[in-house]
Amino acid sequence: MALVPYEETAGVGLQKFHKPLATFSFANHKIQIRQDWRQLGVAAVVWDAAIVLSAYLEMGAVELRGCSAVELGAGTGLVGIVAALLGAHVTITDRKVALEFLKSNVQANLPPHIQPKVVVKELTWGQNLGSFSPGEFDLILGADIIYLEETFTDLLQTLEHLCSNHSVILLACRIRYERDNNFLAMLKRQFTVSKVHYDPEKDVHIYKAQKRNQREDL
């Protein structure tokens, strides 16, 4: 899912993806993310949605200390790394082909005492869900994972599996196409959804979703 040619037209905008390192400061740590656009494409660069979601977590919008979190379609792992630095126990996931690259970024950016709180694990949406307990996570994170229409059903199935009635989903995305709104409409059929943040400079929205409780559906 992460390894697909991306429809981004601005040549200037793409230049940052070809840099071997992207450097950030979050949670009082300097984070250096290795990028590898040539080998892994969209899975190996830092998208604006990941930066905005990391900043949102840093603002203290959700309680992360002791929280059980999972990042979906993590790519470089920036969001999961920031969540771990802020106190969460994090499972950082992507497809098998991206895992070694993802692990290298996680290990390079987490102090030794935090590394035991982080697991890098394979997850292909809608497929190997049996290796995750239903409702396992308090917080589900996704940055720019809504862009391929053929993955929407699998992504929804995955969210449904990972969520308990108390879990919170945070999805950061840029609304580029009508299909992005289509996914949000699909999400709203199974979850209560609200927009909790917007970064006008990067044109990134953050949506919060939670399972609908049965009383709402009656």
Mean pLDDT taken over the chain: 89
pLDDT surpasses 70 at 2: no
Q: Helix 152-162 to helix 178-190 angle, to the nearest 10 degrees?
A: 30
Q: List, for residues 109-168, the tens digit of each pLDDT value.
A: 999 999 999 999 999 999 989 999 999 999 999 999 998 889 999 999 999 999 999 999
Give the whole-number percent of the chain exceeding pLDDT 90.
74
pLDDT of residue 17: 63
- At 189 the pLDDT is 94
What is the per-residue DSSP string for 8-34?
---HHHHHGGGSSEEEEEETTEEEEEE
| pTM for this predicted structure | 0.89
Convert the pLDDT of each residue in 14-25 to its tens digit: 567 668 889 999
Residue 178 has pLDDT above 90, yes or no: no
How far apart CA 58 and CA 141 sit, in angstroms, is 14
